Amino acid sequence: MKRFAILLGSMMVFASPMIFASPASAIAEFGKEFKKSFSDKEEDADWYKTVAKAGCNVCHIKRHPDKKKARNEYGQAVHKYLDKKDFPKDLFKSDPEKAKAMILEGFKKAGEMKSSDGKTFGEKIEAKELPATDWEYEG
C-alpha cells in the first residue's frame, strides 16, 4: 500500500505541470507584438528599455492587487478592440500573419483614442511615452 501511495504521489508530481499548466495566452502575444511594433533596440535603446521594463504594465496597473484584470486607461482602450476570445491559442501557429494583423489593427484603433491628458495614445507612443497616465496603483 505504501509503495502504491508513493507511486501515485510521484505520478501526480510529474503530471501536474501538464494538467495545471496554463495554455499560451493571447495576452502575452499582445505584449510581445507591442514591444516589436513600437520599440526598436537599435533605433532607440532607451525607449526599448522603457517598454521592456513596463512589460505588462503598458496595459495593466502596476502593483494592483488584481493585476491580471486591472487595466490602465490604455489597457481599457486596447481591450475594446482586442479580446483574447478572438485569438484561439492555435491561431498564432496556424496563421501568425493574420494574428499579427488583428493585433496591429486593435493597437491602431486604440491609438486613436484619447488619454486622460488629452493626447491620443498613438501620439504618446510616437513621442516615446508610455501610453497610460494611470499605470501605477496608488491604493
Measure the CA–CA gap between 131 and 129, rounded to whole angstroms: 6
Which of 24-28, 53-57, 83-87, 95-99 is most confident? 95-99
Is 105 part of a structural domain of the chain?
yes
Is 114 part of a structural domain of the chain?
yes
Q: What is the pTM of this model?
A: 0.75
- Structural domain boundaries enclosing 50: 22-126
At 108, is the pLDDT very low, low, confident or very high (cuts 50, 70, 90)?
very high
The DSSP secondary-structure symbol of 128 reads T
CB 72 within 8 A of CB 138: no
Q: Angle at the Cα of 127 (from 69 to 139), degrees rounded to 5?
A: 30
Is 92 part of a structural domain of the chain?
yes
Is 60 part of a structural domain of the chain?
yes
CB 56 within 8 A of CB 137: no
**What's the number of domains the chain is made of?**
1
C-alpha cell at 131: 501610453
